[in-house]
Structure 1
Amino acid sequence: MPTYIYLHGFASGPKSAKAVFFQRKFETLGIPLLVPDLNEPDFSQLSLTRNIAAVDRLFPPLPQPVVLIGSSFGGLTAAWVAQERLQVKQLILLAPAFEFAQAWLPRLGDQFFQWQTQGYLEVEHYAYGQSRPLNYGFVEDLQAYDEGQLTRPVPTLIFHGEADEVIPVSASQRYGQSRAWVELQVLREDHGLTENCEDIWQTLQIKNILGRP
């Protein structure tokens, strides 16, 4: 039986609607689903590198396989973990944050330059219900990752909303174009994908992904 790990998105948390949904669904199958809090120990020092290290610490001993389910920035994290860890046998990505810097940073406008000079940006954090500061090191760390290096052929199923206002569906389309192991399903929804959770779950069962060794 694989170890299943769910990775929440940026400024989200382990109690998000999707995380809770999947945890309950896994419970009905009698399968544990690990849902780490990637905000810990301090959201202000969040980085992709820190996320990857946090997930790595959850891995079972070799050779037990791992299936990663990642939402948004958690999806980007999952892709990078899978690149390095051969135990990852399947990726399920929900509106993954590919091309995150290109999609998000231009929308900040003058705030971006303030972030550079002041060192911190106030980010609306949905899990905490209030804004929290984020260190500019988040950007510097993110820019060190070249998504063109994500070349390990891990079977990958992506669900992305055609009306995604945060990460355009075109980012997932470009990601899948040169990777034959990627399947993209475009849904009629926005970035949250909360209206399609049940359909996503049914697809996973139809494809027997949860039963893969």
Structure 2
Amino acid sequence: MSQPLIIYIHGFNSSPDSFKARCFVKWMAEAGRSDEVLVPRLPHWPQQAIRQLEQLVEEHAKRDITLVGSSLGGYYSTWLVEKYGLRAVLINPAVRPYELLAEMLGEQGNFYTDERYELTSEHLEQLLAVNCGVLKEPARYLLLTQTADETLDYREAVDKFSDSPKLVQQGGSHGFDQFEQVIPSLLAFAEGRVELPLQTDLTVAAEKD
């Protein structure tokens, strides 16, 4: 059996230093599985980010790869699943980022690296170029989403991944509150199993700190 590998793909203006990325890396380290996770730092240009991710997947092609994509990382993950036949866990994924980011053109800054850059129409064109309209195998995706996402309309993801296993939590946030509680489900999916609380398509109340 090939060695498993989970590639965590961060979102827009994020990095491997994001809360969820660090939380997941810590979890894997404590389980003695640090060699099973990679968290690449992606450039802001979609074309460059996709190429970097494609090269990473091809470099580790002999391993059993699962993607974990957050927000824009979920959008990138969809492209990679459709191209390489992988499986992916999508956390509050962006479905049409080329529309969402059209309202944010202009100067941008990465929340973690302090990098400054100009978000342009070329970014949107590059995003549109990797849009996947029809999913070949919906069962390759596990959708984790929360209804109080302040950045994205969770219903877009629920609609796009309507035939995929999913967990829809009432409340929460774009950052996905209580992320650590779904890591066991994420790891189960990486092993080819769907193990969600009570049932595959479940709506539960998100706990608050």
What interval of TM-score do these two structures reach, taking the shorter chain for normalisation? 0.7 to 0.9
Secondary structure of 1:50's aligned partner = helix
| Unaligned residue ranges in structure 2 (runs of 5+) | 194-209
- The reply to whether residue 76 of structure 1 matches residue 75 of structure 2 is yes
Equivalent positions of 1:21-170 (< 5 A) are 21-31=23-33, 32=35, 33-39=37-43, 43=44, 46-47=45-46, 49-59=47-57, 60-86=59-85, 88=86, 90-105=87-102, 107-108=103-104, 112=105, 121-129=106-114, 131-170=116-155
CA contact (8 A) 1:82 1:154 kept: no
Give the structure-1-normalised TM-score: 0.78
CA contact (8 A) 1:7 1:71 kept: yes
What are the superposed Cα offsets for residues 9-62 of structure 1, whole Å, 9 maximum, x if unpaired?
0100111111000011111222221000002xxx4xx11x32221112112454
**What one-letter code is carried by the residue in structure 1 that aligns with 2:30?**
T
Taking a change above 3 Å as real, the CA distance of residues 139 and 62 of structure 1, as seen in their structure-2 partners, is closer
Taking a change above 3 Å as real, the CA distance of residues 62 and 8 of structure 1, as seen in their structure-2 partners, is closer
CA contact (8 A) 1:72 1:96 kept: yes
Deviation of the 1:212 alpha carbon: 4.1
CA distance in 1, matches of 2:83, 2:99: 24
Deviation of the 1:190 alpha carbon: 1.3
What are the superposed Cα offsets for residues 152-177 of structure 1, whole Å, 9 maximum, x if unpaired?
44521111120112111011111122
Residue 189 (structure 1) aligns with = 172
> When the two structures are aligned, how many residues end up with a matched partner?
187
Matched residues, percent identical? 25
Higher relative contact order (CA 8 A, sep 6+): 1
Secondary structure of 2:49's aligned partner = helix
Deviation of the 1:130 alpha carbon: 6.3
Deviation of the 1:77 alpha carbon: 0.5
CA contact (8 A) 1:91 1:154 kept: no
RMSD: 2.2
CA distance in 2, matches of 1:196, 1:10: 20
CA distance in 2, matches of 1:28, 1:210: 18
CA contact (8 A) 2:79 2:130 kept: no
CA distance in 2, matches of 1:62, 1:124: 33
Taking a change above 3 Å as real, the CA distance of residues 76 and 146 of structure 1, as seen in their structure-2 partners, is closer
**What one-letter code is carried by the residue in structure 1 that aligns with 2:4?**
P
**What one-letter code is carried by the residue in structure 1 that aligns with 2:51?**
A
**What one-letter code is carried by the residue in structure 2 that aligns with 1:198?**
E
**What one-letter code is carried by the residue in structure 2 that aligns with 1:185?**
L
CA contact (8 A) 2:98 2:127 kept: yes
